[in-house]
């Protein structure tokens, strides 16, 4: 496939942009899914007050255009050789803007923002929610439809956009919606199924906006084929089969399992999301997340616990253990299965003998302990046999983290040869849409693996049994730390 010019057939490519929490990156992919050109820039996160995390919309748009142009330039090609543009975005980050002028009324309120913690807590305890739970329990008893069971268990979190949006009758949208609006010069106001299913107002069972919650919050949006970052990473890892697990360890950790053609109904906080819809096929995922994976490592670096992130694995291996130190990675609260937005980050068990290496090891171990917590919850709830586990994201380049994950899971864990799967997944979906690639089977053949980590046996699991118990105590003591002050 390519463009015809002066009798010669020019090679064509897919351009893909991933708008992450801390970085916007763009890659140019060729027919073999190899990166031919790249460009990236940092996302400027704003912290106007404690618990508030924002992004300036126009700055994000300019960065999007900059990396797209930069990647094409880096590849040494022309824009007309681009067959399609795919992009993935962080989810549950939103803004509102004027339909006529396109001017935002406020900054993006990001998925890490905790301004709605009190509102979420009061809403979850409200008579309205109790009535919803009661009525849907009766409906589930009468019909045995899982969508009613899900509604009877629903608990909102600060990551759902419904409790952070402003009450104006304006255009509302997540990052993908905003970018589509800008790319089409105001002609398209839409989102896609994967982003919509993470908002808290989309009915994944019926594949439509929830009439009840839309009547409360007024969120009219069309559906358009872009892709959310975690679902894109799942697609990039070729986790097309039921029981495939993807663990993205970037700013946060997102663990997803392919549940097939039916959404999973959770009691512990795993969230049923739409993975992708291609033609008539709809694939669902069950997802758990921990918000502060890369955030904890970046924080430690800013404290000068190490100079280069690449050194952290060697630092952790340089000591036999963490000297009894436990770290709780909850700068943005705790997500499933504990679901406490008021938990604090903390070190516990510090001693005069504690060194920087012990602290770094404790931080890395805490990331794996959260992985273990999420994985156990996933196994217990879904009861789906695991077919494969793949990791990606910046933190997955850390051998200590991935090896310990394999040890505590008791399963082999595969790592791709490059960790930016959201970009690749968005490229795959865009490429399939224009016939650049023909099928998912073709995509599987393009998949590359850097290393497979094998569990080192039951002794390693036993070695960590006591520390896991200590870490769980530290976790409990960090919960409900921030109380309402007004």
Q: Residue 206's pLDDT is what?
A: 83
SS3 of 119-174: the string is: HHHHHHCCHHHHHHHHHHHHHHHHHCCHHHHHHHHCCCCCCCHHHCCCCCCCEEEE
pLDDT at 76: 97
5, exposed or middle or buried, with CB in 10 Å at 0-12, 13-18, 19+?
A: exposed
Considering only CA atoms, which of 401, 301, 410 is closest in space to residue 361? 401
Q: Are strands 8-11 and 2-5 parallel, antiparallel or unpaired?
A: antiparallel
CB atoms within 10 A of CB 308: 7
| Region label for 218, one of left (φ > 0), alpha (ψ between -120 and 50) or beta (otherwise) | left
Question: What 3-state DSSP class applies to 30?
Answer: coil
Strand order in the sheet with 449-453: 271-278, 281-290, 253-260, 244-249, 388-392, 413-416, 449-453
Token pair 């060194």 is found at 355
Burial bucket for residue 214 (CB in 10 Å: 0-12, 13-18, 19+):
middle
With a cut of 50, list the residues of the chain below it in pLDDT. 1, 3-8, 160-168, 217-218, 485-486
Alpha-carbon torsion (225, 92, 246, 454), positive or negative: positive
Ramachandran category for residue 69: left, alpha or beta (phi over 0 → left; psi -120 to 50 → alpha): alpha
**Element at 97 (helix H, strand E):** strand 94-97
Which pair of tokens denotes residue 4? 């015809």
Residue 135 φ then ψ, to 5°: -65, -45
Q: How many CB atoms lie within 10 A of CB 326?
A: 24
pLDDT score recorded for residue 153: 55
Tokens found for residue 486 = 């007004």
């Amino acid at each position: 496939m390519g463009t015809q010019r002066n009798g010669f057939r020019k090679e064509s490519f897919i351009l893909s942009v991933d708008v992450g929490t801390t970085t916007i990156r763009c890659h140019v992919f060729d027919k073999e899914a190899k990166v031919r050109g790249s460009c990236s820039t940092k996302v400027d996160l704003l912290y106007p007050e404690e618990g508030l995390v924002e992004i300036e919309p126009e700055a994000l748009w300019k960065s999007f255009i900059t990396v797209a142009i930069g990647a094409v330039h880096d590849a040494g090609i022309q824009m007309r050789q681009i067959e399609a543009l795919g992009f993935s975005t962080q989810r549950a980050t939103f803004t509102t803007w004027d339909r006529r002028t396109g001017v935002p009324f406020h900054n993006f309120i990001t998925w890490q923002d905790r301004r709605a913690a009190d509102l979420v807590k009061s809403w979850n305890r409200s008579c309205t929610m109790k009535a919803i739970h009661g009525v849907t329990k009766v409906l589930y008893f009468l019909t045995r439809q899982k969508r009613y069971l899900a509604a009877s268990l629903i608990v909102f979190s600060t990551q759902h956009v419904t409790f952070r949006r402003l009450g104006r009758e304006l255009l509302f949208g997540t990052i993908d919606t905003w970018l589509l609006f800008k790319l089409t010069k105001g002609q398209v106001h839409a989102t896609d199924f994967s982003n919509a299913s993470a908002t808290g107002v989309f009915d994944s069972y019926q594949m439509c906006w929830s009439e009840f919650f839309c009547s409360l919050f007024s969120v009219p949006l069309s559906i358009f084929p872009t892709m959310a970052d975690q679902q894109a990473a799942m697609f990039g890892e070729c986790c097309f089969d039921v029981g495939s697990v993807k663990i993205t360890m970037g700013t946060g950790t997102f663990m997803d399992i392919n549940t097939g053609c039916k959404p999973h109904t959770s009691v512990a906080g795993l969230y049923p999301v739409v993975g992708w819809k291609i033609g008539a096929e709809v694939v669902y995922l069950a997802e758990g997340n921990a918000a502060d994976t890369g955030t904890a490592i970046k924080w430690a670096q800013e404290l000068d616990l190490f100079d280069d992130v690449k050194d952290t694995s060697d630092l952790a291996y340089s000591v036999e253990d963490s000297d009894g130190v436990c770290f709780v990675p909850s700068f943005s609260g705790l997500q499933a299965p504990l679901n406490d937005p008021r938990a604090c980050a903390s070190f516990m068990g510090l001693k005069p003998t504690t060194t920087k290496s012990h602290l770094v090891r404790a931080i890395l171990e805490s990331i794996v302990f959260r992985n273990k917590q999420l994985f156990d919850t996933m196994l217990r709830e879904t009861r789906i046999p695991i077919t494969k586990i793949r990791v990606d994201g910046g933190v997955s380049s850390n051998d200590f983290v991935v090896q310990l994950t394999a040890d505590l899971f008791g399963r082999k864990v595969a790592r791709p040869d490059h960790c930016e799967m959201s970009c690749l997944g968005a490229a795959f979906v865009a490429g399939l849409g224009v016939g650049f690639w023909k099928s998912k089977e073709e995509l599987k053949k393009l998949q590359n693996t850097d290393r497979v980590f094998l569990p080192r046996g039951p002794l390693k699991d036993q070695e960590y049994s006591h520390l896991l118990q200590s870490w769980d105590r530290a976790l409990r003591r960090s919960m409900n730390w921030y109380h309402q002050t007004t």
